[in-house]
A and B are shown apart, each in its own frame.
Chain A
Amino acid sequence: MADPRVIVVGAGPAGIRAAAALVEAGLVPTVIDEASRSGGQIYRRQPENFTRSYEQLYGTEARKARALHTCFDALRHRIDYRPETLAWAVKDGRLHVQSGMTAEALPYDALVLAPGATDRMMPIPGWTRPGCYSLGASQIALKAQACAIGEKVVFMGTGPLLYLVACQYMKAGNAPVAVLDTTPFHRQLRGLALMAARPGQLVKGARLIAALRAGGVRVVRGITPREVTGGEAGVTGVRYADAAGRTFHVECTAVGIGFHLRAESQLADLAGCVFAFDPAVRQWLPAIDAMGRSSVANVYLAGDGVRVLGADGAETSGKLAAQAVLADLGRPQPEDRTRRLLRDMERHVRFARGVARAFPWPHDKVAAIPDETLVCRCEAITAGELRAAVTALEAPEVNRAKAFSRVGMGRCQGRFCGLASQEIVAAACRLPVEKAGRLRGQAPVKPLPIAVTDGGSHA
């Protein structure tokens, strides 16, 4: 029998660990990644002519970053690695990919999807102004370009990345002006019991906040974002209300906003995977078993692209998905190893639930954003237009509201407006959010260059 064709999408912690386990079992997987260098988000590599050390780049995670990069570098010649290649659709058992001006449809016996996550966003009046970036972008500017998004930065939102990025800016000599968290302090304590599943991580988190305070950075919790202020030339400040409803304005030249993360689940959607609503994070996520098997026989899901567990959880889930692939291909794996990985996974899931509880998506604030807020950056559609579409046209369902108002049909494919529009539609229709429908993934998951030609499929 010819060697089974296994494709892994994503060369982040999850995809790399999956590929390594497949290679160890004697397979030659194809690894697709849109980026020019491997590593994924947290262990993103800087351009080759940059010289900062692992310690400078990855701080407390330097050892893990080095281990993962070394692992991938050793694999490179034992896999079919395709950097700068976008997986843009899954159709009829083939993965459609595009690189440069060439497109191909790759057949597979097993497909492991590990595409990671993007920032979860709450639209805020003024968030399209030059100088306003996602928290992820703020970190990428620093890691991959050695730049701050501005000289005087405010970070606003909630989630572990909020404090992490703020600390990274401080260490890099660009301490933020303020850190504004939508979660009140007493809420943050609620996740503690679950987060104790990973005491080391919990301590790291507490240290970040202490370091910011020690560095004189103003940290305010329980805020409501009101506006990213400024004009044509860009951001000049942030207006927010404190827990008591008093409004404040902080001057700054740049803002980084983010509300934890959302899974990049479009490819799983296109592959036909069944989704389930997860009330803990108020998101529709692909259903998987403990190993990462989706509802579709030869499609496996790993890492933050199926549910956000963080980097260590991504590595474990990648290894587990590879074990599932191998077992289903008739190459069973040592049971004790699987058991160990499953136990490890349980801790990551518990911890992630604690994080979700400690830094909740402020859905009530999202549902209440003012009518004039641009929800869809791509097509410049406001919250008011979206509300009018669902109430006037009796379209109490996100996909239909989307057709009426075009929210989620822009070129970002709803990545930055989808979760917020679900909340807005649900509230406008007085429905629980899980009853307001779900934005479906559409191909291409990202815009293709116009002149792409079909390079054929190598069967």
Chain B
Amino acid sequence: MQARFRRLAEKERRAVVLTVDGEAVRALEGDVLLTALMLSRGFARMSEFGDGPRAGFCMMGACQDCWVWTGAGERLRACSTSVAEGMDIRTHVPEGIWPIPA
């Protein structure tokens, strides 16, 4: 996977480190999770239907195509959740957590 977004301005913000599927990802305070994901791995989640990775679509909380999970199993919308230090983000439903229907 590859970075897809490109930062154009506002680069002088405080750094925040989170983990995505166990790997450290550096972001900046004020980034939403989707931005952090698209600047590092280039996708947000795997489609449940086997048609590959998805990376959100609307960035405004309408399409629900950017769902990610926390290690504790909480479901988050990556486009409308700000990054925070130490967040533990999973691009798959964590094992042992019952899949949550829409």
Chain B residue at minimal CB-CB distance from A135: B58
Closest CB in chain B relative to A341 CB, distance in Å: 29
**Is A130 in contact with B5, judged by CB distance below 8 angstroms?**
no
Closest CB in chain B relative to A84 CB, distance in Å: 9
Over the window 38-61 of chain B, the binary record of Cβ atoms lying under 8 Å from chain A Cβ atoms (1 yes, 0 no) is 110011100111011111111111
Chain B residue at minimal CB-CB distance from A151: B6
Chain A residues near B6 (CB, 8 Å)? 147-148, 150-151, 174
- In the complex, A247 has a CB within 8 A of chain B: no
Chain B residues near A411 (CB, 8 Å)? 64, 102
User: Beyond A151-B6, A378-B102, A380-B49, is A234–B62 a contact (Cβ under 8 Å)?
Assistant: no
**Is A137 in contact with B56, judged by CB distance below 8 angstroms?**
yes
**Is A416 in contact with B29, judged by CB distance below 8 angstroms?**
no
Number of A residues with CB within 8 Å of any CB on chain B = 55
Q: Which of B7, B14, B52 contacts A232 (CB 8 A)?
A: B52
Chain B residue at minimal CB-CB distance from A374: B51
Q: Which of B7, B29, B62, B82 contacts A415 (CB 8 A)?
A: B62
**Is A119 in contact with B59, judged by CB distance below 8 angstroms?**
no
- In the complex, A214 has a CB within 8 A of chain B: no
Docked complex: A40-54 residues within 8 A CB-CB of B: 41, 46-52
Chain B residue at minimal CB-CB distance from A380: B49
Interface of B is mostly: loop
Q: Chain B, interface size: which category?
A: 35 or more
**Is A377 in contact with B5, judged by CB distance below 8 angstroms?**
no
Chain B residues near A51 (CB, 8 Å)? 10
User: Beyond A377-B65, A379-B49, is A233–B10 a contact (Cβ under 8 Å)?
Assistant: no
Q: Which of A131, A134, A140 contacts B4 (CB 8 A)?
A: A131
Task: Determine the distance from Cα of A254 to Cα of B55 in the docked complex, in whole angstroms.
Answer: 11
**Is B42 in contact with A233, judged by CB distance below 8 angstroms?**
yes
**Is A234 in contact with B57, judged by CB distance below 8 angstroms?**
no
Task: Determine the distance from Cα of A378 to Cα of B13 in the docked complex, in whole angstroms.
Answer: 35
User: Beyond A128-B51, A377-B65, is A147–B58 a contact (Cβ under 8 Å)?
Assistant: no
Q: Which of A49, A119, A151, A378 contacts B58 (CB 8 A)?
A: A119
- In the complex, A446 has a CB within 8 A of chain B: yes
User: Beyond A141-B5, A378-B102, is A449–B75 a contact (Cβ under 8 Å)?
Assistant: yes
Docked complex: A192-216 residues within 8 A CB-CB of B: none
**Is A450 in contact with B63, judged by CB distance below 8 angstroms?**
no
Closest CB in chain A relative to B32 CB, distance in Å: 7
User: Beyond A133-B57, A377-B57, is A146–B62 a contact (Cβ under 8 Å)?
Assistant: no
A-B contact pairs, 18 of them (CB 8 A): A35-B80, A46-B30, A118-B58, A128-B52, A128-B57, A137-B79, A140-B59, A142-B8, A146-B9, A148-B5, A234-B53, A378-B64, A378-B65, A378-B102, A379-B49, A410-B102, A412-B63, A416-B62
Report, nearest first, the 3 A-B pairs whose CB atoms are least far apart.
A380-B49, A130-B55, A137-B59
